Amino acid sequence: MARRVAITGLGTISALGCGVPALLDAMATGRCGIGPISSIPTDRLSVPIAAEIRDFDPAAHFDRRQRLMLDRAAQLALIATREALAAIDLAAIDPTRCAVVLAASFGHATLDASYHALYADHARRLPPMTVPRAMPSAAASHVAMEWGLHGPCFSVASACASSAHAIGLAAQMIRAGQVDLAICGGSDASICLGYLKAWEALRVLSGDACRPFSRDRSGLVIGEAAGILVLEAEDRAMARGATLHGALLGFGMGADAGDLTAPSAAGAARAIGAALADAGLAPSAVDYVNAHGTATRLNDSTETAALHAVFGGHARRLAVSSSKSMHGHCLNAAGGLEAVVTALALREGLLPPTLGFRAADPECDLDCVPNAARRQPIGIALSNSFAFGGLNAVLALGRAE
């Protein structure tokens, strides 16, 4: 019999602050982390706003040698993992049965600095740790090394669904009895000139705010973050008296196999339906959906259509909000951060708002919890992640019993 999967640790850092308490405060007060970029020059950017982690001093978290080895993306992953593991005694768990499954996160800051040195400054050599810092599996390796974990350790690359895929695959390993504990989620640090210019070329960035589901929405806002969950077999976690933040009930995934950038309502609906089937849930059991909700015109209307296709009349009774309106679109970290948000919504009975909502859109006819958080006990929630390339991942979470 498959084991029930418990969430026993949560960790995060984002534009909303460092740590779960800061994230929870932002959810409750509707605080937005989006603003002018301060960490890099913006004179060459057409869209100089992002959801940036401010007042971040790596020296407060890592010594000089560590900083030489760590890109910003790996730094964020380690900080969030430290919080997620703070109440867990790993010494009591066989390290060969502890997995690390994180989103693949390129070291954009490292690559950006290296290419500038090479092409602009005509450097004859680059720092020797450039490749190990920039490789997309670096964060997972550093997490395993810091805690001496010898179980499965790998990174998942599926664009903005990467973290959600990582969490779902980790849960499957717990269920199957392959591991007893899994650290999963992801990090992303993409506020770099080169990468932001690439996003500008897509013409999907908003120049002022992220307004998901609002009729006047104008595009997404890039964010940086890490969101980490610790998953364990529920029976083992309860036996050792662990604090349970919730449960990972189901996981659905699939491919649109259509357009490289345009989303598919049918593909999203299949992934949502697969998550419900995996959890053994009827659509009517779901109380809340943390939407992918990027605030692009096509994404939000397509996701709305998918929700109507799966939930039918129940879609009118669902609360569906996009926390990206507060913390931005954190790309490869999005699914991890939003899974933490969804777990907190279940644990606290607090639905995060969709900020910036100004006018109803007939193509987004949902209860999007506009502009203010809502106190509402909920038992079942979904977290949607839909990526370029038609790569879809949906997590079904439940309140701790």
CA distance 10 to 226: 11
Alpha carbons 263 and 295: distance in angstroms, whole number? 13
The first and second tokens of residue 216, run together, are: 């006047």
Q: Which of 193, 223, 191, 221 is nearest to 206 (CA)?
A: 221
Buried/exposed 323-353: b ≥16 CB within 10 Å, e otherwise: bbbbbbbbbbbbbbbbbbbbbbbbbeebbbb
The Cα–Cα gap between 335 and 162 comes to 7
Residue 58, judged by CB atoms within 10 A of its CB (0-12, 13-18, 19+), counts as middle
Residue partners of 263: CB distance under 8 A and separation at least 6: 256, 298, 299, 302, 303, 386, 390
Catalytic residue, from 292, 327, 364, 368: name it.
292
DSSP state of 333: G
d(CA 277, CA 282): 8
314 is catalytic: no
Of 18, 98, 160, 368, the catalytic one is: 160
Element (H, E) at 348: helix 334-348
SS3 383: strand
The helix/strand/coil state of 187 is strand
Q: Does an H or E element contain 227, and which?
A: strand 225-233
For residue 292, indicate whether it is catalytic: yes
Name the active-site residue from 184, 329, 330, 368: 329
Q: What distance in Å separates the CA atoms of residue 62 and residue 78, rounded to the nearest whole number?
A: 10
At 264, which amino acid appears? Answer: S
Backbone dihedral angles phi then psi of residue 67, each to the nearest 5 degrees: -65, -30
Residue 330: active-site member? no
What residues are annotated to the active site?
A: 160, 292, 329
